[in-house]
Structure 1
Amino acid sequence: MSLRIYGEPLVITDSGGKDSLVYREIARRAGIPYEVVHNLTTADAPETVYYVRDTFKRLEEQGIRCWFHKPIYKGKPVTMWSLIPQKKFPPTRLQRYCCQVLKEESLKDRFITTGVRWAESLKRKNNRGIFENFTTDKSKKIILNNDNDEKRMLFEACTIKGKRICNPIIDWQDRDVWDYIRSERLPFNPLYENGFFRVGCLGCPMAGKRRYREFRLYPTYKRAYFRAFEKMLEIIRKEQIPTGWKDAQAVFDWWMEEETPEGQMQLFDFDSWKKENPDILT
């Protein structure tokens, strides 16, 4: 489908994690033409970058094209640290603009693979499929789920131009991934041997409280976030945008889900307010 629709090989998006390793190996064993790309988020751990570089070196020796994609935002090169001030708020679990800009905006009009798996979250199980077709017209978006209907195929043709995505291990559990890696003796990211459950961007809100350990191990990244928050606050104050954040430390505490900024409503405040205004919610 990739060669027929785009005239280009399938693109393996390699984050440096365990899922990328598995579906990259599946593509190799399938004997299909493919290329490999790593989206340079600028917030990956050094070990991940070194691991990807070593992987690319081995693949290029086999004649496989590999490259790093550097993100662009509003027509200019961007990093995690310059993106936060432009957005005027840190990335959160519900507003992960970092993924959209640093990863998902790349490779338009190409057929790609990802390591999305239903087991990772309930949202992905309900909203992601084995084959996905993205277009600017959301009404034409196509998702084919991995159901048990014998009439369904792994891929179904759709000639609407746009990014197409294949999720080859979408129904794999974590144990399936690790069983495959160990049984085939595949070289994986060393961070997993150091207690990491995920190897995405350092400080990612999806990592929850594990971020504390990440910042203890990589204090330089913590300082980078602080500098980004300081620049963000400068822009907020310059544009006279109301905020409860006094300084970068306050932003960091809120971001780490530690403290509520002064003036922001908390749950017990809402309960008291609701008792005083019983009619406003009816």
Structure 2
Amino acid sequence: MDLEQKSIERIKMASEMSLHHYGKPLICTYSGGKDSDVMLELFKRSGVPFEVHNSHTTVDAPPTVYHIRDTFRDLELAGIACDIDYHRQPDGHFLTMWNIIPQKLMPPTRAVRYCCKSLKEGYGANRMIATGVRWAESVQRRGREAFEYIASTKAGRIAASTEVMLANDNDTSRRLIEKCEMKAKTVCNPIIDWKDSDIWDFYWHECKHHNPLYQMGYTRVGCIGCPLAGKKERESLRISRHTSGHISELLKRCCRSGDQKGYRLITGRMEMMFSGGG
């Protein structure tokens, strides 16, 4: 079975689990990057009912935001439900990177990556979702599996391969099904075993629409200033007007709030990041 068909079979299996245990369609998470576009195309080819969700980070580059909007408009015209989470809080204000950083007194770092937890990972309670996580992305992600229950502690996590889920009659699959029956947040990673070369090949040849940043030479289109970005991405950010505008706004807010300690920490951290020390 080739990669495309194997991923589609995972999507179909996850869809059956979602409809049976949750009574709702599987959610395809979408960030506007190449992995998201590949996964979305696989969802379309699978023929299953699905919804699409984006978490608005407030630090995506404008071309990425426009690409997401264009994609969602086309999906909605095709009758597919799309949702963008703007992180509205109970008191009415919206959670953004720019009001989180002054609270933390520092931008996110590799060791303290509070941004993902606050702006990306909180969605999907009581639903089954699909993400673009891949083993090839990092050492940490090599421990992930095609089907998962993500617990608050590592000990509580349940991970099952496609083969384990197909076998059905085993302790791991039963435990994962129990979480579905409890309406806990469960995850399918359809493209987990795709290599970078597999993604690029499918992206350019099979996906109809592309994030314009890739055509400008970028190989990564994640959040601006992400501490996980490689040296090449950090170098490109030095001349990015989007980055300078974001940082300028952040520093203005720190000054307006009288947070001189936060200002010094942020400026120092930015100097480290753009000099390659992040």
2:190 matches 1:168: yes
**Secondary structure of the residue that 2:221 maps to in structure 1?**
coil
Deviation at residue 132 of structure 1 after TM alignment: 1.1
2:153 matches 1:157: no
Partner of 2:209: 187
Question: Partners of 1:252 and 1:56 in 2: how far apart?
Answer: 33
Structure 2 gap segments, 5+ residues each? 1-16
Partner of 1:263: none
Identify which of 82, 86, 90 aligns with 2:99: 82
Paired residue type of 1:105: G
Q: Which has the higher contact order (CA 8 A, sep 6+)?
A: 2
Tell me if structure 2 keeps the 8 A contact 1:10–1:112. yes
Tell me if structure 1 keeps the 8 A contact 2:234–2:273. no
2:239 matches 1:216: yes
User: How many residue pairs were aligned?
Assistant: 254
Partner of 1:104: 121
Deviation at residue 151 of structure 1 after TM alignment: 3.9
2:109 matches 1:92: yes
Tell me if structure 1 keeps the 8 A contact 2:38–2:203. yes
Partner of 1:141: 157
Identify which of 213, 235, 256 aligns with 2:274: 256
Identify which of 119, 132, 149 aligns with 2:136: 119
Partner of 1:64: 80
Deviation at residue 94 of structure 1 after TM alignment: 1.8
Paired residue type of 1:256: F
Paired residue type of 1:253: E
Partner of 1:278: none
**Secondary structure of the residue that 1:36 maps to in structure 2?**
strand
Paired residue type of 1:108: A
Q: 1:121 to 1:248 in 2, by over 3 A?
A: closer
Question: Partners of 2:82 and 2:166 in 1: how far apart?
Answer: 37
Paired residue type of 2:133: V
Tell me if structure 2 keeps the 8 A contact 1:90–1:255. no
Partner of 1:279: none
Tell me if structure 2 keeps the 8 A contact 1:85–1:233. no
Partner of 2:38: 22
Structure 1 gap segments, 5+ residues each? 261-282
Question: Partners of 1:258 and 1:118 in 2: how far apart?
Answer: 25
Q: Which one has the bigger helix percentage?
A: 2
Tell me if structure 2 keeps the 8 A contact 1:9–1:33. yes
TM-score normalised over the length of structure 2: 0.79
* Structure number with bigger Rg: 1
**Secondary structure of the residue that 2:64 maps to in structure 1?**
helix
Paired residue type of 1:124: R
Partner of 2:59: 43
Question: Partners of 2:18 and 2:195 in 1: how far apart?
Answer: 27
Paired residue type of 1:68: I
Deviation at residue 161 of structure 1 after TM alignment: 3.2
Q: 1:182 to 1:252 in 2, by over 3 A?
A: closer
Q: Cα RMSD over matched residues?
A: 3.1
Tell me if structure 2 keeps the 8 A contact 1:134–1:162. no
Question: Partners of 2:41 and 2:25 in 1: how far apart?
Answer: 16
Question: Partners of 1:93 and 1:212 in 2: how far apart?
Answer: 17
Partner of 1:267: none
Deviation at residue 230 of structure 1 after TM alignment: 6.1
